[in-house]
Structure 1
Amino acid sequence: MADGEFDYDLFVIGAGSGGVRASRVAAAYGAKVAVAEEYRVGGTCVIRGCVPKKMLVYGAHFAEDLEDAQAFGWTIDAPKFDWKVLRDNVLKDVDRLNDAYTTTLNNNKVEIILERATLTGPHEIALSGGRSVTAKHILIATGARPHVPECPGSELGITSNEAFHLDALPPRILIAGGGYIANEFAGIFNQFGSKVTIINRSDQLLRGYDEALRDRLLQISLIKGIDFRFNATFRGIEQTESGCLRVSMTNHEDIEVDCVLYATGRLPNTEGLGLDKAGVILGDHGEIVVDRFSKTSVDHIYAVGDVTGRVQLTPVAIREGHAFADTVFGGKPTAVDHDCIPSAVFSHPPLAAVGMTEGQARNAFGAVKVYEADFRPMKHVLAGRNERCLYKMVCDETSGRILGIHMIGPEAPEIMQAASVAVKAGLTKDDFDATVAIHPTMSEELVLLR
C-alpha cells in the first residue's frame, strides 16, 4: 500500500491532458499514482479534438494556397485531393501521440489502468475488470463529450468524434452549431469541396467573441460559399431511399444533405462515475463544482479540466492538473488564474482574442478607446484575393491599459500568443506605440494602431 492504509496516494480517473499532467507531476513528488482510462491515453484534444482537427485545418489551407501560388509564378497542374490519405496520416499521428503520452506516464512510474473506473465510496474505486482499489486522494479528469440535440432521427447524425473517421467526404454537409467547433469544421469541409450549410438556433456566431470579428467571419464565410440558417432548430432527420438525409427545421425549408454534424456544445462526463456515492456535488449542468484549488465538496477528491465546466481549453486543463499536484503533493498551494485567457478559433480565416470585448469593456469601465486596423495582407494583394484582416485593441481611456485584443486573419492565433502576454502583464497602448515594428509583417499592425 502507498502509506499503509491506501493502495495509492493518488488515483486519477481520465488520462486526458489534465489527468496526465497531474499524474506525472504528482509522481515526480514521490506519490504512488495510478490513472484509469477507458478509451485511449491522451484525451479529447490529442485523440479526437484540437490536435487532429488542426491537422485537417492545415490540409484545408492548401486549397487556397495552391490557387494563390499561380500569382507567385508557380504552375500547378491538375492538383487533386485525396481525403483518405490525409485522414489516415492524421490517425497515424494520433497513434504516435497516444504512444508518447503512454511512454511519459510509464517513465514517471505512473500505473496505467485501461479500464473504466467508478467511485463506490469516499476512497474506493471499482474497476470494470472486477478489481477494487483505494486511494488517499482522487482526481476526476474525465473531460466532456459532444452534445447531441434531441429530435426524431438524431441518431442519423455524427459528432466531431466521428468526423475524423469518415470513409469519404460528404458532398453536402449540414453542421449544427455556431461555436468554434462548427465554424472550424465548416472551413475544413468547405475547402475540401463539400457544400456546407450551418444551422444555428440563434442569430449569432461565436458568442463571447468581439462583434466586429464575428461579423467579419460571417462575411468572409458567405463569400467562400458557406450557407447559414439562423434561428433554426431541428424538427427531425430522416433517411431517404437514396441514402441521403432530409432535415426539417424551424423557420426554414427542409434541406437534403449527405451528412449531419452536431457541434452544439459539450457536456461534462460525470454520469455513471458514482460521484453521488462519494458525496461529490454537481452543478446545474452536470459539472463538478470545485473551489479555486480544484477541490470538490469532498476534501480529498479534486477535479480538473472540462468536467468542471470552468474553461474548456486544453492548456487550462493542463495548468489545473499541474496546480493540483503542486498543491496536494508539492506543498505549494497554487490556484490557476482563469482571468484573461487567450483563445483562438481555427476557422478559415482564423480568429483569436484575449481580454475583454469592446462591449464588455464599456460595461465594466464606461469610457474606453478602440483602435482598429482593417487591411489586406501582402500575400492576398499579389494573389488577387479580396480578403481583409481586422485587428482591434480595446483600452481603458483613462490609463491607456489594454483591456483586450481581437484579431481575424492569417496566423492570428500565432500572433495572439505573444500579444496576450502584454495584455496579461497590464501593458498600455503607449508601450505598444514605443515598440519598433517588424516590417513587412501583419503583426506590425499591432504597434501601428491609430
Structure 2
Amino acid sequence: MTYDYDLLVIGAGSGGLAAAKRAASYGAQVAIIESEQVGGTCVVRGCVPKKLLVYASQFAHMYHYAEGYGWGAVQPSFNWNRLAEIVDQEVNRLSQLHEGFLDKAKVELIRGAAAFQDPHTVQVGDRTLTAERILIATGSEAILPDIPGIEHALTSREAFKLPRQPKHVAIIGGGYIGVEFAGVFNSLGSKVSEIVRGEKILRGFDEDIRDHVQGAMVDHGINLLTQTVVERMEQTEEGTTLFLKGDNAPETITVDAAVLVAIGRAPNTAGLQLDKAGVEMKDGAIVVDEWSQTSQSHIYAVGDVTDRVNLTPVAIDEGRAFADTVFGNQPRPVNHANIATAVFSQPEVATVGLSETDAIAEFGKADVKVYRARFKPMFHSLTGANERVLMKLIVERQSDRVLGAHMVGKDAAEIIQAVAIAINMGATKRDFDNTMALHPSTAEEFVTMR
C-alpha cells in the first residue's frame, strides 16, 4: 500500500518535535500535526515560562540581601503586566524557532486537531492523511476536580495570562506545580493560600525534602492549609470564595482574582478517537512497551501521553530513541532509571535516584545508610536570612553504592545534574569521598559528608 507519509507525528511538543526531526534526518518523509502553538506544554505553557517567572520572583529577595553586603537600601517596584508581556514575547520567539527547525529539517507542519479514522488514517480538518507509521505525542492536560464552581478556577495554562497580579491567590494542590507557583506569587508580593489534601506537600519525594521545603514555605509567609479539601467555590463581590473542609482550616477563604488548580495532570487523548486505531489504553494512558510501541505495531507513543516518567527530557529522549530504532537502524530503549529532576520551589529542590523510603523498601533498613547535612550557606552569613540547605545521600551498605542524592537549596538543580552522572555510573560513597572538595561551595558537601 502507498501512504502519504512515512511518519505522521501527532503533537508538536518536546517529544514529537524530537522524533520528527530525527526521523527526517534519516530520510523519512515526515509531517507533524499541531492544533496549538508549536513547542507544547514545556515551551508554551509550562517549564520555560514558569522558570522565567521564578527568576523574576527571586529579585525581590536579592534587593534585600544586597544590603547585607554593603549596598544601599532601595524601594523596588514590580510591574506584573510588563513581566507577562516579555515572558509571552519569549515564548513566541521560542515557538517560532521550533517552527523554523521543522522547516529546516523538511518536516511538514499541519495545523489542526487530529482524529484517527482507522489504524493508518488520520483526519485533520478537511484533510485525510495516511502514514505507514504514526507517533502519538500529545502530552498531558491539567486535571480539574469535580466540585461546584470549578468553572471559576484556573490551571497553570491560564496562570501565565492573568490580566493583573492577584492580591490573594489560592492554590489547590501540593505537587510541584502548585508549590512552584506558590513561591512565585508569594515572592512577587501576593498573599498565597495553598490547600493540600494530605499532611505534606510534594508526595513521592524524600520525606526529609518534603519536611524541609514545607517548613521553609511556612517561614516565608505562605498560608499552607494541609489535610484540607475544597468542597465548592462561589463568585462573590470580593472575588471567589472557597468553602473548605479540614480540621485546621477556616470554613472559607476569599481571594480577589485567582484560584489555581494544580492537583495533577492526565494524558491528553481527547478527540484522538484511539478506539478507531485499535490502540490499547489503561487508566487513561496509552499502553506502550520498552520501545514505545503500542498494541498496534506501527503506532508508537512517547511522553506524558504514556504516563511513564512525565518530564520534558524524557519525552525528548523517547522521541529520538523511537526514530533511531525505527528509521535509523540503531535500536535502543530508553533507560528510565535514576532520572534527575528538580522542583523550582523557593527553596529549590533537586533529586536523583532512590528516596530513603524507597531504598529501605528495596534493600531493607539494615542495608541502607543515610548521610545528611543541614547548614546555613555561606551566602546567607551576611544577609540575615534564616535559610538552610539540606543535602542527603542514600547508600547501600553492602556495595557502598550511592542509591540516591537529594538537595534543597540555591542552585540545587545545577548541582544535582553533575551528581546524576556519578550515580548513573554506579559511583560508591568512597568515590564521592575520594573526590577533592571545591571550597568554598555548597556542592562540596556531597563529597565531605560523614
Q: TM > 0.5 between the two?
A: yes
In the alignment, what sits opposite 1:9? 6
* CA deviation vs aligned residue, 1:113-137 (integer Å, no higher than 9, x gap): 1111111001001012x01010000
- The reply on whether 1:305 has 2:303 as its aligned counterpart is yes
- The reply on whether 1:281 has 2:280 as its aligned counterpart is yes
In structure 2, what residue type is equivalent to 1:426? G
In the alignment, what sits opposite 1:449? 449
In the alignment, what sits opposite 1:410? 410
In the alignment, what sits opposite 1:318? 316
Contact 2:114-2:271 within 8 A present in 1 as well:
no
In the alignment, what sits opposite 1:43? 40
Q: 1:82 aligns with which of 79, 84, 98?
A: 79
Q: Secondary structure at the match of 1:182?
A: helix
Q: 2:70 aligns with which of 63, 69, 73?
A: 73
Post-superposition offset of 1:212: 0.5
In the alignment, what sits opposite 2:106? 109
Q: Secondary structure at the match of 1:294?
A: coil
In structure 1, what residue type is equivalent to 2:408? I
Q: Secondary structure at the match of 2:290?
A: coil
Post-superposition offset of 1:274: 1.3
Alignment of 1:231-380 (within 5 A): 231-242=227-238, 244-251=239-246, 252=249, 253-258=251-256, 259-284=258-283, 286-366=284-364, 367-380=367-380
In structure 2, C-alpha distance between the alignment counterparts of 1:159 and 1:23, rounded to whole Å = 29
Question: How many residues were matched structurally?
Answer: 444
In structure 2, C-alpha distance between the alignment counterparts of 1:48 and 1:5, rounded to whole Å = 38
TM-score relative to the length of structure 1:
0.98
Task: State the identity %.
Answer: 50
In the alignment, what sits opposite 1:440? 440
* CA deviation vs aligned residue, 1:274-324 (integer Å, no higher than 9, x gap): 11001001112x110000000000000000000000011000000000000
In structure 1, what residue type is equivalent to 2:398? T
Q: Secondary structure at the match of 1:334?
A: coil
In the alignment, what sits opposite 2:127? 131
- 96-105 or 224-233, which deviates more: 224-233
In structure 1, what residue type is equivalent to 2:328? G
Alignment of 1:394-405 (within 5 A): 394-405=394-405
In the alignment, what sits opposite 1:159? 155
In structure 2, C-alpha distance between the alignment counterparts of 1:373 and 1:361, rounded to whole Å = 19
Contact 2:38-2:95 within 8 A present in 1 as well:
yes
In the alignment, what sits opposite 1:182? 178
In structure 2, C-alpha distance between the alignment counterparts of 1:268 and 1:140, rounded to whole Å = 11
Contact 2:288-2:294 within 8 A present in 1 as well:
yes
In the alignment, what sits opposite 1:225? 221
Q: Secondary structure at the match of 1:208?
A: coil
In the alignment, what sits opposite 1:171? 167
In structure 2, what residue type is equivalent to 1:245? T
In structure 2, C-alpha distance between the alignment counterparts of 1:74 and 1:409, rounded to whole Å = 24
In structure 2, C-alpha distance between the alignment counterparts of 1:353 and 1:264, rounded to whole Å = 21
- The reply on whether 1:204 has 2:200 as its aligned counterpart is yes
Post-superposition offset of 1:98: 0.3
Any stretches of 5+ residues in structure 2 without a counterpart? none
Contact 2:63-2:74 within 8 A present in 1 as well:
no
In structure 2, C-alpha distance between the alignment counterparts of 1:420 and 1:38, rounded to whole Å = 36
In structure 1, C-alpha distance between the alignment counterparts of 2:200 and 2:314, rounded to whole Å = 26
Q: 2:29 aligns with which of 5, 29, 32?
A: 32
Q: Secondary structure at the match of 1:250?
A: strand
In structure 2, C-alpha distance between the alignment counterparts of 1:365 and 1:241, rounded to whole Å = 57
* CA deviation vs aligned residue, 1:250-276 (integer Å, no higher than 9, x gap): 223111112100001001111210110
In the alignment, what sits opposite 1:20? 17
In structure 1, C-alpha distance between the alignment counterparts of 2:411 and 2:330, rounded to whole Å = 37
* CA deviation vs aligned residue, 1:378-397 (integer Å, no higher than 9, x gap): 11111111111010001001
Q: Secondary structure at the match of 2:132?
A: strand
* CA deviation vs aligned residue, 1:148-170 (integer Å, no higher than 9, x gap): 11111100010000010111111
In structure 2, C-alpha distance between the alignment counterparts of 1:30 and 1:257, rounded to whole Å = 55
Q: Secondary structure at the match of 1:134?
A: strand
Post-superposition offset of 1:241: 2.3
In structure 1, what residue type is equivalent to 2:51? K
In the alignment, what sits opposite 1:421? 421
In structure 1, C-alpha distance between the alignment counterparts of 2:95 and 2:369, rounded to whole Å = 47
Q: Secondary structure at the match of 2:417?
A: helix
* CA deviation vs aligned residue, 1:189-230 (integer Å, no higher than 9, x gap): 000011101111111211111100110001110010001112
In the alignment, what sits opposite 1:119? 116
Post-superposition offset of 1:84: 1.2
Q: Secondary structure at the match of 2:64?
A: helix
In structure 1, C-alpha distance between the alignment counterparts of 2:374 and 2:7, rounded to whole Å = 52
Contact 2:116-2:274 within 8 A present in 1 as well:
yes
Contact 2:148-2:231 within 8 A present in 1 as well:
yes
In structure 1, C-alpha distance between the alignment counterparts of 2:274 and 2:332, rounded to whole Å = 25
In structure 2, C-alpha distance between the alignment counterparts of 1:423 and 1:91, rounded to whole Å = 37
* Aligned-CA RMSD value: 0.8
In structure 2, C-alpha distance between the alignment counterparts of 1:411 and 1:278, rounded to whole Å = 45
In structure 2, C-alpha distance between the alignment counterparts of 1:380 and 1:390, rounded to whole Å = 14
